[in-house]
Amino acid sequence: QSALTQPASVSGSPGQSITISCTGTSSDVGAYNYVSWYQQHPGKAPKLIIYEVSNRPSGVSNRFSGSKSGNTASLTISGLQAEDEADYYCTSYTSRSFPLFGGGTKLTVL
Amino acid sequence: EVQLVQSGAEVKKSGESLKISCKDSGYTFTNIWIGWVRQMPGKGLEWMGIIYPGDSDTRYSLSFQGQVTISADKSIRTAYLQWSSLKASDSAMYYCARGHIYGRFDYWGQGTLVTVSS
């Protein structure tokens, strides 16, 4: 099963908003409200920032928000900060009863 | 606080076997899933497989089926990832994660770096 499709890179200036897309199929993103997003800084373990499409774990900034439409999920980061520069990965539950990652998106804060 | 502590870095030769571990300090170990994730140098995250220690239900990504074995010992709250015959292409960082099969994995280990020389 191929990875979910994410843009390889996005960039934005401090204070701006950016959106990262995650496109799958009707067997994964489109079929379930089980899309999660992870943030990974270089040399660190991934950190959960969004689960079940739009829910934030305790302690995660409300600058992070998630949504979904059809087979595409999106992560929006508002009020961009230097510390947001990282790699971002989506993951979705699939019809194989197994999760699937996206290819990852490198966010650069200009 | 829940912590996942993974075993230390490994340097092995092609053809050797290896078993790395992930110890869970959480309150419950039997009603959550433990997943294993590979990250090759400079590359993205890949789910390898997941296990439900409560009943040992184990599922593998098609890419890793038959290549690795995932197991768990609930008496010592530890999950394992093992190879019977390593290849140079198995060189990567391996993470364990604790959570739900739907993809919500709240806690992650620190990673185990595996280096395989040919």
Q: Tell me which of A41, A51, A75, A92 to substitute to probe the interface with B (most B C-beta atoms closer than 10 Å).
A: A51
Mean pLDDT for chain B? Answer: 95
Contact A6, A105 (CB under 8 A): yes
- pLDDT value at residue B29: 80
Give the one of A57, A98, A103 whose C-beta lies nearest to B61's C-beta.
Answer: A98
The residues near A88 (Cβ < 8 Å, ≥ 6 apart) are A6, A20, A37, A38, A39, A40, A75, A104, A105, A107
Q: How confident is the model over B1-44, as pLDDT tens digits?
A: 789 999 999 999 999 999 999 999 877 887 899 999 999 999 99
Which single residue is written with the structure tokens 């990652």?
A101
Cβ contact A32–B102 (<8 Å): yes
pLDDT, tens digit only, all 110 positions of chain A: 789 999 999 999 999 999 999 999 999 999 999 999 999 999 999 999 999 999 999 999 999 999 999 999 999 999 999 999 999 999 999 999 999 999 999 999 99
CA A63 – CA B9 distance, rounded (Å): 36
Tell me what the mean pLDDT of segment B80-107 comes to. Answer: 96
**Which pLDDT score is estimated for B1?**
79
- Tell me what percent of the residues of chain B surpass a pLDDT of 90: 90
Q: How far away is chain A from the Cα of B25, in angstroms, using its nearest Cα?
A: 17
